[in-house]
Amino acid sequence: MTDRIRDFLTARAEQVPVVSDTDVVVIGAGPAGLSAAVSAARNGARVTLVERYHHLGGMASGGMVLVLDDMVNDGTEIVTTGIVSEFVDRMQRQDGAVFPPPEDCQTNWEMWQKWARWGCIDFHKQGMPQPIIHAVAFDPDAWKRVSLDLVAEAGIELRTHSWFSEAIVENNRVTGVIVQTKLGRQAIRARMVVDASGDLDVAASAGASFATGQFIVTTVFRLMDVDTARAEAFEYENPEAFKALDRQARRVIGGAWGMWWLKTPLPGVVWCNCPHMPGYDGLSPEHMVEAEYEGRRRMMALLEFARANLPGFENARMLGAAEQMGIRQTRLLQGEYIVTKDDVKKRRHFADSVCRGRDYYTPYRALLPRGIDNLIVAGRHYSVESEAQKQSREIPPCMAQGEAAGVAVAKALQANCALRDVDVRAIQKQMRAQGADPGDMPSANALIEPIAAA
């Protein structure tokens, strides 16, 4: 899918100024890119981090996706640690993160009523009440502040307001990237490149194979002046009346998960992860304009309904929509291995696992494009089938991918070799040294079985 094309014109050839000459360039400062940049820098590489917007965080801040989940296997085993844990600790110290203490992670109605509206329930479990698990509600500005601190402390060169536009490829290597800025086009030379754009912009430009996927898009928003205690009391004391009203609310917004509002660390401010809008292409400017109008129309209709009908929402006001459109899936790499739905569902363990999320494992090969020696991807556009990506794209696992990619590029620089020739055991060992779980030791519920030959 693409925008309507009316004609073509030829642009002029030009001399592009080189503004950075570095070991590693990371494109995209979302959860995956930030983690990749920090991890590579801490492993001794000179890193330049490129971001199109002024803020860091991608969907986690600009996209206002405000719960970290998919962090736990089988109820209690926290599998996304390393930089993820560091982020959570730092945000918590700034009153920007809320999560249940271990003793509250139980399966009973008392804990469910205490934690469900924070989003700290196991959404994958059928039956009520769902177990309370380690998930983290956070504040988007805390995310931005922590990101900037980590970048500064690691000595990373940060280039915001720089929109990646083109990969320069010579002999199976990306030797540099071109970004668009207000000053015109600028070039960055690098020995290793990490594509963390979420939409596979770099790998696609470099000629790597990819599939085009799609999922619902969402104009996420927040409401303020909500009496959350009153809303929760109504929900738990009048379950039937609540269900009827909540069904109507979800009809008005036109598509939402079971819980369309969740609490945030800011009192009286709730996060609305809706509406669900299918059929939009997250790469198309024309589609994004339509989605912007459609999302804003629906969110104002919901606000009106909530103010008139929902106890606790009588005085609610629109705090605002997210700065970035909520894009879940666009291009997906077709790399050295393509993770399948079966792999994710059956919890297949891979000997070359370098990171994990919830109960699934990500092989190193799923971060590597075919045929390009010095490019690695991290984040929601990794090498995975569309249906499998929908189950394996949450923020913490994307950060774990980034952390592993950062280690991998540092190892490749040290060994002066192609990324596919890096010793995977050395990546796994270093991930453990950084406090992360590379998934090299399968949990008891993992599937350990070779993949049948095609």
Ligand X SMILES: Cc1cc2nc3c(=O)[nH]c(=O)nc-3n(C[C@H](O)[C@H](O)[C@H](O)COP(=O)(O)OP(=O)(O)OC[C@H]3O[C@@H](n4cnc5c(N)ncnc54)[C@H](O)[C@@H]3O)c2cc1C
The binding site for ligand X (CB under 6 A) comprises: 27-33, 50-53, 58-60, 63, 65, 67-69, 163-164, 196-199, 201, 218, 220, 273, 326-328, 379-380, 393-395, 398
Give the β-pairing of 173-181 and 184-195. antiparallel
CA distance 432 to 400: 12
Using the minimum distance from each CB to ligand X, give the nearer residue, 71 or 245: 71
Using the minimum distance from each CB to ligand X, give the nearer residue, 63 or 268: 63
CB of 361 to ligand X, least distance (A): 18
CB of 235 to ligand X, least distance (A): 20
CA distance 110 to 157: 48
CB of 44 to ligand X, least distance (A): 23
Tokens of 424: 């995977």
Using the minimum distance from each CB to ligand X, give the nearer residue, 91 or 398: 398
CB of 35 to ligand X, least distance (A): 8
Using the minimum distance from each CB to ligand X, give the nearer residue, 117 or 328: 328
- Judged on CB neighbours under 10 Å (0-12, 13-18, 19+), 175 is middle
CB of 271 to ligand X, least distance (A): 9
Nearest of 259, 216, 246 to residue 120 by alpha carbon: 259
DSSP string, 102-122: GGG---SHHHHHHHGGGT-B-
Using the minimum distance from each CB to ligand X, give the nearer residue, 321 or 395: 395
Buried residues in 278-308 as b, exposed as e (16+ CB within 10 A): eebbbbbeebeeebeebbeebbeebbebbee
HSE value, Cβ hemisphere, 13 Å, CA-based, for 211: 17
Residue 170 pairs with which residues in a beta bridge? 173
CB of 380 to ligand X, least distance (A): 4
Q: Which residues touch 313 (CB under 8 Å, ≥6 apart)? A: 223, 226, 227, 231, 306, 307
DSSP string, 323-340: SS-B---SEEE--SS-B-
The H or E element containing residue 431 is helix 424-433
Amino acid at 218: T
Nearest of 401, 384, 392 to residue 195 by alpha carbon: 401
Q: Helix, strand or coil for residue 157?
A: strand
Using the minimum distance from each CB to ligand X, give the nearer residue, 273 or 434: 273
Using the minimum distance from each CB to ligand X, give the nearer residue, 60 or 193: 60
CB of 253 to ligand X, least distance (A): 13
CA distance 435 to 90: 16
Using the minimum distance from each CB to ligand X, give the nearer residue, 231 or 377: 377
CA distance 219 to 295: 5
CB of 295 to ligand X, least distance (A): 10
Using the minimum distance from each CB to ligand X, give the nearer residue, 199 or 343: 199
CB of 308 to ligand X, least distance (A): 26
